Amino acid sequence: MDMTDTKFIASPVPAGACAALEIAGVRKDFESFSALRDIHLRVNPGEMLCFLGPSGCGKTTLLRIIAGLETQTSGQILQNGKDVSWLPPERRDYGIVFQSYALFPNLTIADNVGYGLVNSRARRAQIKARVSELLTLVGLPTSAHKYPSQLSGGQQQRVALARALATRPGLLLLDEPLSALDALERIRLRGEIRRLQKQVGITTIMVTHDQEEALSMADRIVVMNHGVIEQVGTPMEIYEQPATPFVADFVGKVNVLRAVALGQQRFKVGDLELQCDACDGAFAPGDAVNLYLRPEDRMAENLREDTANRMSVLVSKVEFLGGLCIAEVTAQALHGQTLGLHFSLNQLHDLDIREGNTIEIALRANRIRAFAAPAARTVA
Amino acid sequence: MNTLAHTPPAPGAPAMTPPAAYRRTGMRWSRDEIIARGVLLAVMAMLFVFLVAPLVTILAHAVQDKDGRFVGLAHFITYFQTPSLLRAVWNSVWVAAAVVAISVPAAFVFAYALTRSCMPAGLKAVFRLIALIPLLAPSLLSAISFVQWFGNQGALKFLLGGVSIYGAPGIILSEVYNTFPHALMILVTAMSLTDGRLYEAAKALRTRPMRQFMTITLPSCKYGLISASTVVFTYVVSDFGAPKVIGGNFNVLSVDVFKQVVGQHNFSIGAVVGMLLLVPSIVSFVIDYVVRRKLKAQLTARSVPYSPKPRKVADTLLLMFCATVCALLLAIIGMAVYTSLITLWPYDLSFTLKHYRFALLESDMAAAYTNSLAVAAVTAVAGSFIVFVGAYLIEKTRNLGMMRPTMHMMAVLSMAVPGLVLGLGYVMFFNHPANPLGFLYQTMTILVVSMIVHYYTSSHLTAVTALKQIDNEFEAVSASLKVPFIKTFFRVTVPVCLPAILDIGRYFFVVSMASLSCAIFLYTPDTILASVAIMHMDDAGDIGPAAALASLIVVTSVVVCIVYSLLTRVLLTRTQAWRLLGRT
């Protein structure tokens, strides 16, 4: 593979290694719309990849195409170099876990986990050993004789995971595995799935609409919208260097400021001039842009006279949320545009941030991202 | 560096650029998919041969002359120019409308009492059971009873004041009895679907009870009322048993078909009447189908069930109403049973079992009862198997394309075809010398098949409902585990759906035990069924044996239902232990 090709540099695998899964030009058309258009993607061996996007973005369709449960309109899927594009599900190599658990309600936990093993004609003792090994792995060693309805949602999903792993597949597909669980169990199982995945070392694709889930679990995230991939990158890349306004908006919270480019990474917002070090897009002076800034990307302490993007702002509202609060600030110089900024509760006290007070802040020049303003807004 | 991936890969990247990647190729079918499609095709072929083809044959007969030449609408024109024939159309329609006007309001009040009053729960259960008994009886039974009550020697003949029960009054009364439980079941369902919070909101707004009834109760039952009316109307138009027994010279469509075909061998006019019978069925079927969908959509997952509050006066009135209705219903069935146990009404009221002896042993139709038992048993087993497999395959197989809507349409079409029309179609289709399936004609097999096809729709919908309740991904999971779907079907799907399958079996048994209209064209002296025998005995004036056989059908069905529920209770506690276990 050409090392100068920047498309896949984020992959931690050495060049030339066979991708665990390769999706080439996959397209899915329904009667009235295209669910997926020209998807290209490489999944590296052993990595955990998350498809993240709003509902209807095509992430689940893509997962079901990989599983052979839906048929792509065109395009190719290679698993370990082998073309599986048109194979029925049972001739592909994967285990799958669904949001609904899909446990067989009339079979015991042990029978559920051993469901795929019985068919592979393994010996009874071997099956039993494998089942108890898997149940131990997912932390349910004593539940073998119970029925699914006797377990909590999180426990059932663990069993589904064990069942999917039982036949030692080369690929694990997780279709919103945590969405049906309550908040606490979701967080607990999140860590557990990640631990298991690393321990087993299985290449995993997870579909989710929950950004926190994706950020905390994935090696790489694939952000999708309207049937196309918006960005592929590590969680940190996705959060800190969103490639498109959609990604900036969808992942994490963000403030948007209307601005006009002045050239040389400087922008005019209202009467203020802001420095923006990280803007790789070249804008001609006079271009209308939107500046994207995350709520935590402000400085409020140890400001010097020459700190870039320094301004004094009026606190118009403080939203108390517990340990971390949001202060809405505005300035006349901003021409009515407001910013929501994160402050810890202690900072609120220490810096005397209250409604009606004026405070000194600076926006981090290396954090501001600039994107061309959508055409419609420029006209307006 | 972030990696934008929606640009195609650079040329030279291995395995990414073969032109084949963009070529559209068909998914190859796996063995599982071939098996699934094969079995589904077999079920569809059965419905095609035993439902669609006979219907098409009737249509063909209606537009051909005796030698098979196309005559267009000539038979229809003849029919409509014959006043005596035309009168049957009008008679069928107004009688059916009269039955709707009595049966549906009565069922509405009864259903209201069952769902919205504070009668003791045990009493409600008893009322409900009594009200459902007519379902188990052949439609002839009520007619025979009304003849006994109000006929020429009737015990209560004086009540009619000179009006003869034979004709429209008798048909209307019998059909009210027969249709009451059908209307009741639909209305009870409709009323138990109402969201209780609507009433709480109304109460919070201090709405008066009458206004609550007019603005909440009635509108929420609207679809139920429409559905019940169409079902009752169709039932009456297509029923053959009651008008045959109590209709006298009062001509209705269903009896006309029989007369034309069996009496005069006039297949062309028979076919025309058959087509006419199909019209109200199909119209009301479409209305019912649309309405049922809306009924389902009405209830959101968050609805709160309504729990009635005691209202002394209303509750007492409703209780009295229910008690009266039940007394009347019991009087009908009671008269049939009584008639079967006495020597000769009204001259010799001494107790005797001779009618039973005659019906079961001495008559030349003595095989009828055991034939009915055999047909009902085989229909129950074979029917529930075929229906469930068919429903499973269209619900859980992926990428069926046109097979799914085609199968679904045939499955629901059967409800729109009156048994009489189906039987007529069989006569014309299977009796045709060129039909290779002609050997089936005049066998028990064709009786069983006709029962399965005739009662396909309800069973199919029950199966589909049960299947929709289980997780959609079982098949996907077993495919990913490389387990053939057939194994998952028998190991998981069938056990999980067992209660529904057993329900379907019982339904098939009960309806084919009492069914007359379908079999009337298909029986031979060897394969005669109990309901047909009742009709012949009644024709011959053997009221006692006819009543005995009718009572036997009811008793059999009651016994089967009881045994069935005991057996299934045992079976279910054995196989459904997982259902009863809560979270520990």
Find chain B residues with C-beta within 8 A of A229's C-beta: 4-6
Give me the pLDDT at residue B172, please: 96
What element of type H or E holds A35? strand A34-43
Find chain A residues with C-beta within 8 A of B401's C-beta: none
Work out the mean pLDDT of chain A and round it to a whole number.
89
DSSP for B344-357 reads ETTTEEEE--HHHH
* In the predicted structure, residue B48 carries a pLDDT above the cut 50: yes
Cβ distance B454 to B518 under 8 Å? yes
Question: Considering only A92-106, A190-204, A215-229, B561-575, which range has the smallest mean pLDDT?
Answer: B561-575
* In the predicted structure, residue B6 carries a pLDDT above the cut 50: no
Helices B403-416 and B456-469: angle between axes, nearest 10 degrees: 130
Residues 301-360 on A with a CB inside 8 Å of B are: none
Average pLDDT over residues B473-485: 92
Residue B412 or residue A202, greater confidence: A202
Give me the pLDDT at residue B100, please: 96
Q: How confident is the model at residue A5 (pLDDT cuts 50, 70, 90)?
A: very low
* In the predicted structure, residue B342 carries a pLDDT above the cut 70: yes
Q: How confident is the model at residue A137 (pLDDT cuts 50, 70, 90)?
A: very high
Find chain B residues with C-beta within 8 A of A121's C-beta: none
Give me the pLDDT at residue B441, please: 86
Cα–Cα dist B477/A101, whole Å = 10
Q: How confident is the model at residue B28 (pLDDT cuts 50, 70, 90)?
A: low
CB contact under 8 A, B12 and A2: yes
A contact test, residue of B3, B16, B467 with most A CBs within 10 A = B3
Give just the sign of the alpha carbon dihedral A344, A345, A350, A355.
positive
Average pLDDT over residues B495-512: 92
Cβ within 8 Å of residue B529, ≥6 positions away: B368, B371, B372, B375, B447, B515, B516, B519, B523
* In the predicted structure, residue A121 carries a pLDDT above the cut 70: no
Give me the pLDDT at residue A108, please: 93
CB contact under 8 A, A10 and B1: yes
Q: How confident is the model at residue B26 (pLDDT cuts 50, 70, 90)?
A: low
CB contact under 8 A, B9 and A9: no
> Smallest Cβ distance to B16: which of A6, A22, A150?
A22
Closest CA to A367 of A293, A256, A289: A293
Put simply, whether A85 touches B (Cβ < 8 Å) is yes
Min distance B306 CA to chain A CA atoms (Å): 28
Average pLDDT over residues B298-312: 71
Give me the pLDDT at residue B20, please: 40
Cα–Cα dist B64/A297, whole Å = 87
> Smallest Cβ distance to A76: which of B7, B20, B33?
B20
Cα–Cα dist B431/A62, whole Å = 55
Cα–Cα dist B404/B406, whole Å = 5
**B534-557 pLDDT per residue, tens:** 999 999 989 999 999 999 999 999
The radius of gyration of chain B from alpha carbons, rounded to an integer in Å, stands at 27
Q: What are phi and psi of B362, to 5 degrees?
A: -95, -30
What letters, b where the CB count within 10 A reaches 16 and e where it falls short, cover A196-215? bbeeeebbbbbbbbbbebbb
> Smallest Cβ distance to B583: which of A107, A150, A237?
A150
Find chain B residues with C-beta within 8 A of A38's C-beta: 6, 8
Give me the pLDDT at residue A16, please: 52
Give me the pLDDT at residue B7, please: 40
Give just the sign of the alpha carbon dihedral B372, B373, B374, B378.
positive
Q: How confident is the model at residue B302 (pLDDT cuts 50, 70, 90)?
A: low
CB contact under 8 A, B578 and A105: yes
* In the predicted structure, residue B522 carries a pLDDT above the cut 80: yes
Greatest mean pLDDT among B13-22, B247-256, B371-380: B371-380
* In the predicted structure, residue A281 carries a pLDDT above the cut 80: no
From residue B315, give the alpha-carbon distance in Å to each of A99, B229, B311: 47, 26, 6
Q: What are phi and psi of A331, to 5 degrees?
A: -150, 150
CB contact under 8 A, A41 and B576: no
Work out the mean pLDDT of chain B and round it to a whole number.
87
Find chain A residues with C-beta within 8 A of B5's C-beta: 7, 40-41, 222, 229, 231-232
Average pLDDT over residues B287-312: 72
* In the predicted structure, residue B66 carries a pLDDT above the cut 90: no
Residue B285 or residue A304, greater confidence: A304
Residues 201-230 on A with a CB inside 8 Å of B are: 222, 228-230
Phi-psi region of A44 (alpha: psi -120 to 50; beta: other; left: phi over 0): beta
CB contact under 8 A, A101 and B24: no
CA within 13 Å, CB half, B115: 23
User: Distance between terminal CA atoms of chain B?
Assistant: 50
Cα–Cα dist A347/A299, whole Å = 11
Cβ within 8 Å of residue B71, ≥6 positions away: B63, B64, B65
Alpha helices, H only, B205-306: 209-212, 218-238, 241-246, 253-258, 267-298
**A71: closest chain B residue by CA:** B27
Q: Both tokens of residue B3?
A: 């990696």
A contact test, residue of B477, B485, B492, B584 with most A CBs within 10 A = B477
**B100-150 pLDDT per residue, tens:** 999 999 999 999 999 989 999 899 999 999 999 999 999 999 999 999 999
Question: Considering only A43-57, A279-293, A305-319, B404-418, which range has the smallest mean pLDDT?
Answer: A279-293
Question: Considering only A234-238, B279-283, B511-515, which range has the smallest mean pLDDT?
Answer: B279-283
**A232-256 pLDDT per residue, tens:** 999 999 999 999 999 999 999 999 9
Q: What are phi and psi of B266, to 5 degrees?
A: -95, 85
Give me the pLDDT at residue A280, please: 64
Give just the sign of the alpha carbon dihedral A301, A305, A311, A313.
positive
What letters, b where the CB count within 10 A reaches 16 and e where it falls short, cover B235-245? bbbbbbbbbbb
Torsion of CA A193, A196, A202, A205, to 10 degrees: 0
* In the predicted structure, residue A378 carries a pLDDT above the cut 50: no
> Smallest Cβ distance to B495: which of A41, A106, A147?
A106
Put simply, whether A136 touches B (Cβ < 8 Å) is no
Q: How confident is the model at residue A12 (pLDDT cuts 50, 70, 90)?
A: very low
Burial class of residue B180 (count of CB atoms within 10 Å of its CB; 0-12, 13-18, 19+): buried
Place of tokens 């997962």: A63
Q: What is the pTM of this model?
A: 0.85
* In the predicted structure, residue A366 carries a pLDDT above the cut 50: yes
Min distance A315 CA to chain B CA atoms (Å): 35
* In the predicted structure, residue B349 carries a pLDDT above the cut 60: yes
CB contact under 8 A, B491 and A104: yes
Helix (H, G, I), strand (E, B) or coil at B423: helix
CB contact under 8 A, A169 and B27: no
Cα–Cα dist B530/B138, whole Å = 9
* In the predicted structure, residue A10 carries a pLDDT above the cut 50: no
Average pLDDT over residues B206-222: 86
CB contact under 8 A, A150 and B7: no
Q: What are phi and psi of A300, to 5 degrees?
A: -135, -5
CB contact under 8 A, A81 and B7: no
Find chain A residues with C-beta within 8 A of B8's C-beta: 25, 38, 40
Per the DSSP assignment, residues forming a β-bridge with A34 are A29
Give me the pLDDT at residue B305, please: 73
* In the predicted structure, residue A9 carries a pLDDT above the cut 70: no
Give me the pLDDT at residue B581, please: 66
**A330-344 pLDDT per residue, tens:** 988 888 899 999 999
Give the type of residue at B257: V
Question: Considering only A120-129, A190-199, B288-297, B314-323, which range has the smallest mean pLDDT?
Answer: B288-297
**B19: closest chain A residue by CA:** A75
Find chain A residues with C-beta within 8 A of B26's C-beta: 86
Q: Both tokens of residue B360?
A: 């079961």
Cα–Cα dist A166/A349, whole Å = 54
Composition of chain B by helix, strand, coil, percent to 5: 75, 0, 25
